[in-house]
Structure 1
């Protein structure tokens, strides 16, 4: 029994007369009636509707009733691709193979059409939506369109409705390989102008009427080339059209072969693209192999399909594509990736204000250091109200103000805001040493050193000048917000907003509420995060909150093995199968060894010996040493010899030989995470495992193809083994 409910896409049909084309069958893809704000997506019934109406239009073309076919969408969406919620239900996901056959059959048939096809991208065209557009001979796009691409390999699958096979024939091998393999990993999608530059769209047209005019002009260059006026037709176009083979008798003559032949320049260019560099230390092939070893096979499978294209017929290539998609849809990586995508979709900042939030007209920031200036800039950009930074040292305050204004200037330089807006925002930023200048603020955020006594002193000082309902906000990364506020007269107006460094780039803010935090304060904190266009994840006040608590549970296991005398290089490589963006030693260097040592010590003191306080880390921090060395020619930076010196001293040889590395260390990390997450759920630090996964994906770079972490712990059995339960029932255990 399926729990999936499809919002079936409609296809609105009409005939239009165009002086340069004749009768045009116009197919408009639209969401269900009464659900106009939803994007038009492709589920089982929707793909039947879309392919059925295109097929009906082809029937009419073959009968001579129409002279062209045009496809477009409504609102800001052409077609948004496959309905991801379908994949969450195994019964519904079983329809993918039949949906793929329908799409593939049509990809073959449109190439025999006696009339040309147009796809006018009025809005988003992603995944299967763009693959429908690839059925057309000509594509146009409105200038404002964003969201064009094939994100499938980032979802654990691949463009399986013709995209992997056909994209190279439209944009060329190098661009197609980049779009299919690399762009999804970078969350990169195209706008109309870039799509025009690479040849994915042929012209920019603001609406369907203009698109039809452009379509007519392009079609005219291909009609009756052998008898056309040579003064009108571009000789290059004429030659290409004359030499272009037709896939069937009567097929429109403007089409070229969709696949490269063997030993052709196009085939060579495709193979060169697959062997090209991915970054400075590996090729696309070696990167794909590395991803597969980390549990993400989709990039490697797409690369394999692309390599086999030269010399294939279109039906052969599409059959391989369909088989690969069917395999990947059933994989752990696809299930976890699509779970992650849904988390990110549901968690993204909303358009409506948070109910119950107070109005914020002026903001203060206590502190003017690196984090304080970054946060002040984001508050000024997001809230667009006056923001005053206060520091005891006048030179530090001035330096912090300059840094915050520089963030605003760089934002304008990227084109995110115009110069006039940037000037206004920069003028809204100010600095002071005078506490009284914070008196009129509705919210003051402290970003002073991570020492409880200092933060308590700052809060007490602020409370003496602020109105009773003004919010007091802390940016602490691990200290108790309850302890920070317990001596205040109004602890109910205290909330934690834990920003991550670098603030401008990191999309997560942990929103920390204590037992005393009132609803209006919490709502206002959430609203501030929303207006900054960041993701808010709520956490109760508990040591390390979500991200740091779990990150340091991982790092504690790594450092424990090192302290026992394990080989540093083996330890550093042990977690590679997890698929983190960097190895543990590089992460420690990024965090800063003194900070890592401090946080680890705090968490051990608060949470007990589940957390390891590392003597070796302390020694490294005292030396101001680093775990890694610079290395441009390797994917992972090499381990510094200093690590063995700092951790090897005094290690018991017997303990060193039994210290976990490789699979043994990875299992300890999985078990530790399962244990800690179980405790956090039981203690109410978070209400649902989804909060943990969203926080770890956005705040620590945990891989989307692992679903963050809890689906991975379910699928590996760690959750059941350690916590005595699966975090998601059978959703991620059925494949084991």
Structure 2
């Protein structure tokens, strides 16, 4: 017989919130109190102050004399997706922020303190505070269908503030905790259910079908003593608390990597490492510390956390509802043609075949180049197989989909044809002029141009309405952005097909105006141009290059230039100089570097190479702070110009592009929050974006 008692809690700010219902279940001779987390508005389960109060009230209402165990679970594909970020970012004082951590520690600590065995039945996604909740139970099962378990807090500028760090250290030790809380979080990685079981974060992985009953069976095995094969104490359950005699070499190494990557720009990972180290030095069973509460409160109010949470919301909302997608049905795509067989073309062919599982045909002027492209694709598939990211049979199937040759007639029945030849307007025009008569009138023509005018490219086409810019970023398999470039001729059906295609490729599409450099390359080129201008004027190249390091960007400007290639970058600089000569120049030193055939300005150690130094003027004393101010002011000016030109719908799209296309970390907010914070700029009326005082 089952009886149910539901605890209703008021809604937060008039919106739906997570509620906790209690059901008493008799199963195989044992009595369970099952607490189920649900959201009254059919939204993913998250925990805010009201939801935490409801959860604690449900625990307090239990009659433990009537039960043998207490279990917590969720419904559908989500166990608990973590804390309610919208509620938390509305807090304005340190006391309020610390109260969020204190309340979570109290509510989850109540679960850990129950006098009967406790279980978390992780039916789906368990992130952040949701995983912390599960860790406060004595035992954990996870459904095989659960998509993600992890701690995203550090990437959001926060720390796990509800005891998750201490509980994970006790379970897995400090080194593995640091990997989960810091390294994986910064990389945006989560654990699969299998990976969570492999490391001992959960005790048992069970099939998704019949998961609740299987979890109850597991719990009965524990309660009856018949099942003792659990991992809930971790692989080294006899581990002694860390003392002062041996250093945490892994934590020290991680801190050094953070310094090299972030240069202190984002405080959250450093605070997390401090708390991990402290947790490993204290006895098991220690409850949440004042340091944990203070760290959470201070970080929640920090500029970096607010920018990170903003970036998170921007990326999530734009993925679900891309701005500018027409409300018409897309055309079917059954085969794809790729013109070109270089490095980028090889990556495009692979992603189309792997994600769409459709025939892909590569064409180039030389069969030798085509064969080289097919070879590169095979190598990439082999790497995925070796890393256990792809089954051998899937690799074989994908490779079989990709064929190549020199005859462009094989493109005749392709629904989509994308060119990836050298970034030269006349060459691209010639390619399309040759291909258009060979393909169907309704086939979509795409160009992967990074800076050229799409409209100019299609000026001689009979059907310019089917030509669209479809700009991927290198490496194609990693960076999730596609800039979709429409012209005044592009029809809605073609544009809808481009958006649909980006989604099927698991890319985030941003609609941009047909202007040189679009968004990402225009901003990165303005940054590089400003840096090169300072170097050409005698700024110390090493100081100038490293001046932005305190911002924690992915690369220094000269590292980025070396990655792009000086020849390609010079071409982009020349294109933008022709379009905006008042703001973009053509660097004397870059021109000389290209003429000398150098790979860039840097040597293998990251310093200025002797060959590049010989091409530069004598350096004068240079202040890195002034350099940083100069570069950020130039970027703020460029962002303002782009918004005034309506290159994108708004600043959110610029920030999305910089996060997904330039790999800018969340703590920058993309770009506009960073400029507002660091450049000392003001908000342009009606634009809500920083505007520099640069003339």
Same fold (TM over 0.5): yes
Out of 30, 33, 52, the position equivalent to 2:38 is: 30
The yes-or-no answer on 1:41 pairing with 2:42 is no
For 2:233 and 2:110, how far apart are their aligned partners in 1?
13
Q: 1:229 aligns to what?
A: none
C-alpha displacement of 1:118: 0.4
Do the aligned partners of 2:131 and 2:151 also contact (CA within 8 Å) in 1?
A: yes
* Equivalenced residues, count: 674
Q: 1:7 aligns to what?
A: 16
Q: 1:728 aligns to what?
A: 688
For 2:647 and 2:283, how far apart are their aligned partners in 1?
56
For 2:375 and 2:233, how far apart are their aligned partners in 1?
58
Q: 2:298 aligns to what?
A: 327
The yes-or-no answer on 1:304 pairing with 2:271 is no
Do the aligned partners of 1:47 and 1:99 also contact (CA within 8 Å) in 2?
A: no
Kindly tell me: are residues 406 and 288 of structure 1, through their superposed partners in 2, closer, same or farther at Cα, counting changes over 3 Å? Answer: closer
Secondary structure at the aligned position of 1:511 is classed as strand
For 1:622 and 1:385, how far apart are their aligned partners in 2?
42
Kindly tell me: are residues 295 and 421 of structure 1, through their superposed partners in 2, closer, same or farther at Cα, counting changes over 3 Å? Answer: closer
Secondary structure at the aligned position of 2:66 is classed as coil
Q: Deviations over 1:81-109 (max 9, x none)?
A: 01223344346998654343222123444
Secondary structure at the aligned position of 1:629 is classed as coil
C-alpha displacement of 1:266: 2.3
Out of 56, 59, 63, the position equivalent to 2:61 is: 56
Kindly tell me: are residues 199 and 435 of structure 1, through their superposed partners in 2, closer, same or farther at Cα, counting changes over 3 Å? Answer: closer
C-alpha displacement of 1:347: 2.8
1:32-111 mapped onto 2 (5 Å cutoff): 32=40, 35=42, 38-57=43-62, 60-61=63-64, 64-90=65-91, 96-111=97-112
Q: 2:308 aligns to what?
A: 337
Kindly tell me: are residues 388 and 107 of structure 1, through their superposed partners in 2, closer, same or farther at Cα, counting changes over 3 Å? Answer: closer
Kindly tell me: are residues 661 and 644 of structure 1, through their superposed partners in 2, closer, same or farther at Cα, counting changes over 3 Å? Answer: farther
Do the aligned partners of 1:205 and 1:214 also contact (CA within 8 Å) in 2?
A: no
For 1:591 and 1:5, how far apart are their aligned partners in 2?
50
Q: Deviations over 1:338-381 (max 9, x none)?
A: 11111221233679997421111222112122211211121122
Do the aligned partners of 1:670 and 1:718 also contact (CA within 8 Å) in 2?
A: no
Q: Which runs of 5+ in 2 are unaligned?
A: 1-10
Kindly tell me: are residues 354 and 148 of structure 1, through their superposed partners in 2, closer, same or farther at Cα, counting changes over 3 Å? Answer: farther
1:576-725 mapped onto 2 (5 Å cutoff): 576-625=549-598, 626-631=600-605, 637-648=606-617, 651=618, 656-657=620-621, 661-720=623-682, 724-725=684-685
Kindly tell me: are residues 170 and 355 of structure 1, through their superposed partners in 2, closer, same or farther at Cα, counting changes over 3 Å? Answer: farther
Do the aligned partners of 1:561 and 1:661 also contact (CA within 8 Å) in 2?
A: no
C-alpha displacement of 1:155: 0.6
For 1:40 and 1:678, how far apart are their aligned partners in 2?
38
Secondary structure at the aligned position of 1:267 is classed as coil
Kindly tell me: are residues 131 and 665 of structure 1, through their superposed partners in 2, closer, same or farther at Cα, counting changes over 3 Å? Answer: same
C-alpha displacement of 1:429: 1.8
Kindly tell me: are residues 115 and 515 of structure 1, through their superposed partners in 2, closer, same or farther at Cα, counting changes over 3 Å? Answer: same
Kindly tell me: are residues 318 and 726 of structure 1, through their superposed partners in 2, closer, same or farther at Cα, counting changes over 3 Å? Answer: farther
For 1:314 and 1:726, how far apart are their aligned partners in 2?
53
Q: 1:247 aligns to what?
A: none
1:342-353 mapped onto 2 (5 Å cutoff): 342-348=313-319
Secondary structure at the aligned position of 1:328 is classed as helix
Q: Deviations over 1:492-519 (max 9, x none)?
A: 1110001112222221111111121111
For 1:451 and 1:360, how far apart are their aligned partners in 2?
28
Do the aligned partners of 2:341 and 2:373 also contact (CA within 8 Å) in 1?
A: yes
1:238-249 mapped onto 2 (5 Å cutoff): none
The yes-or-no answer on 1:385 pairing with 2:358 is yes
Q: Deviations over 1:648-680 (max 9, x none)?
A: 2xx5x7xx44xx541111111111111111111
For 1:444 and 1:94, how far apart are their aligned partners in 2?
58
Kindly tell me: are residues 452 and 166 of structure 1, through their superposed partners in 2, closer, same or farther at Cα, counting changes over 3 Å? Answer: same
Do the aligned partners of 1:291 and 1:297 also contact (CA within 8 Å) in 2?
A: no
For 1:525 and 1:573, how far apart are their aligned partners in 2?
39
For 2:689 and 2:577, how far apart are their aligned partners in 1?
31
Kindly tell me: are residues 86 and 355 of structure 1, through their superposed partners in 2, closer, same or farther at Cα, counting changes over 3 Å? Answer: farther
Normalising by structure 1, what TM-score? 0.85
Q: 2:6 aligns to what?
A: none
The yes-or-no answer on 1:154 pairing with 2:129 is no
Do the aligned partners of 1:373 and 1:401 also contact (CA within 8 Å) in 2?
A: yes
C-alpha displacement of 1:213: 2.4
Do the aligned partners of 2:93 and 2:301 also contact (CA within 8 Å) in 1?
A: no
Q: 1:227 aligns to what?
A: none
Do the aligned partners of 1:13 and 1:28 also contact (CA within 8 Å) in 2?
A: yes
1:200-215 mapped onto 2 (5 Å cutoff): 200-206=201-207, 207-215=211-219
Secondary structure at the aligned position of 1:469 is classed as coil
Do the aligned partners of 2:136 and 2:167 also contact (CA within 8 Å) in 1?
A: no
Q: 2:339 aligns to what?
A: 366
Do the aligned partners of 2:178 and 2:251 also contact (CA within 8 Å) in 1?
A: no
C-alpha displacement of 1:212: 2.3
C-alpha displacement of 1:319: 2.6
Secondary structure at the aligned position of 1:497 is classed as strand
The yes-or-no answer on 1:186 pairing with 2:187 is yes
For 2:375 and 2:237, how far apart are their aligned partners in 1?
56
For 1:356 and 1:73, how far apart are their aligned partners in 2?
36
Q: Deviations over 1:254-297 (max 9, x none)?
A: 999x999xxx9321499744x4267xxxx223345567754311
Kindly tell me: are residues 216 and 269 of structure 1, through their superposed partners in 2, closer, same or farther at Cα, counting changes over 3 Å? Answer: farther
Q: Which runs of 5+ in 1 are unaligned?
A: 222-231, 241-253, 632-636
Q: Deviations over 1:401-457 (max 9, x none)?
A: 343454455445555554444444333322122232222222211111111111011
For 1:270 and 1:493, how far apart are their aligned partners in 2?
69
Secondary structure at the aligned position of 1:431 is classed as strand
Secondary structure at the aligned position of 1:674 is classed as helix
Do the aligned partners of 2:262 and 2:549 also contact (CA within 8 Å) in 1?
A: no
Secondary structure at the aligned position of 1:105 is classed as helix
Do the aligned partners of 2:21 and 2:35 also contact (CA within 8 Å) in 1?
A: yes
Two-structure CA RMSD over aligned residues (Å): 3.2
Q: 2:178 aligns to what?
A: 177
C-alpha displacement of 1:25: 0.2
For 1:125 and 1:89, how far apart are their aligned partners in 2?
23
Do the aligned partners of 1:568 and 1:643 also contact (CA within 8 Å) in 2?
A: no
Kindly tell me: are residues 290 and 48 of structure 1, through their superposed partners in 2, closer, same or farther at Cα, counting changes over 3 Å? Answer: farther
Do the aligned partners of 2:328 and 2:492 also contact (CA within 8 Å) in 1?
A: no
The yes-or-no answer on 1:400 pairing with 2:365 is no
Q: 2:242 aligns to what?
A: 267
Q: 1:450 aligns to what?
A: 423
Do the aligned partners of 1:336 and 1:706 also contact (CA within 8 Å) in 2?
A: yes
Do the aligned partners of 2:520 and 2:657 also contact (CA within 8 Å) in 1?
A: yes
Secondary structure at the aligned position of 1:468 is classed as coil
Q: Deviations over 1:24-54 (max 9, x none)?
A: 1001112225x2xx32111222222222212
Secondary structure at the aligned position of 1:145 is classed as coil
Normalising by structure 2, what TM-score? 0.90
Kindly tell me: are residues 142 and 92 of structure 1, through their superposed partners in 2, closer, same or farther at Cα, counting changes over 3 Å? Answer: farther
For 1:270 and 1:168, how far apart are their aligned partners in 2?
19
